[in-house]
Amino acid sequence: MCRVIYAAAIVFIAIFAPQMAAAQETVGAIATVSGIAKLLRSGKELDVAPAMPVAIGDQIRTAPDAQVSVTFADGSSAELGESSSFTIDRYALSGSTRKSALLALWGGHLRTIVKVAAAAAHDFEVHTPNAIVAVRGTEFETAFIDGRPCPEDRSCMRYTTVGVSSGIVAVSNPSNPAPPIEVDEGYETTVACESPATSPAPLGMEELGAPGYH
């Protein structure tokens, strides 16, 4: 799947670079789609289709048994799982180089492969309603679950889980003053309600709560 997405990125950049230059808000394109998915843009709902450009401010939603992958102009990618929703809140580019990016996951599961950038600071973030995930170059998965008990705190009914396949991420809860927790390759963490991120545990030790997480 990673090779397919990367190949799609090369094709997209070769074909759509002129259109991207003309439309500054356009930051990538739909690489693959299976099942029913919708894109909400400026109050209009569109059917998601392969090669459809995506822009800052777009929201993508998937139905049950659906999946969408997006390839960005810098070579990074995001794969949205079933019954999930995310928005592209920020994606600053200089040519094909990423300056900063922010994706907001509102529910469900998001797998992200971030291309290594020259900048030393964290320049790519994924936010959920109760967590901030800041990365450099890495492959990681984020899930936000609402309406189910958190495995770490059964009294909490909304939580975020983050698992790292490659690289390192820093996870924090914006409503909690605790410092970010660094999660290395092969580990995962959970953010329950207003609690800080848990100490990293090996991948698979906790119920991540999203279909197809592992």
pLDDT digits (tens, 9 = 90+) for 154-198: 999 999 999 999 999 999 999 999 999 999 999 999 999 999 999
Instruction: Say if 50 falls within a structural domain.
Output: yes
> Cβ(14)–Cβ(7) under 8 Å?
no
Give the closest residue to 206 by CA, choosing from 184, 182, 190, 195. 190
Query: How many domains, in total, are found in the chain?
Result: 1
Instruction: Say if 90 falls within a structural domain.
Output: yes
Instruction: Say if 164 falls within a structural domain.
Output: yes
The β-bridge relationship of strands 181-184 and 138-146 is: unpaired
Tens of pLDDT, residue by residue over 21-79, are 334 489 999 999 999 999 999 999 999 999 999 999 999 999 999 999 999 999 999 99
Q: What pLDDT, on a 0 to 100 scale, did the predictor assign at position 8?
A: 44
Tens of pLDDT, residue by residue over 95-153, are 888 889 999 999 999 999 998 765 545 689 999 999 999 987 789 999 999 999 999 99
Instruction: Say if 77 falls within a structural domain.
Output: yes
Question: What CATH number corresponds to the domain at position 56?
Answer: 2.60.120.1440
Which residue type, as a one-letter code, is found at position 105? L
- What is the rounded distance in angstroms from the CA atom of residue 202 to the CA atom of residue 186? 6
> Cβ(84)–Cβ(46) under 8 Å?
no
pTM surpassing 0.95?
Answer: no
Element (H, E) at 78: strand 77-80
Residue 70 domain boundaries: 2-202
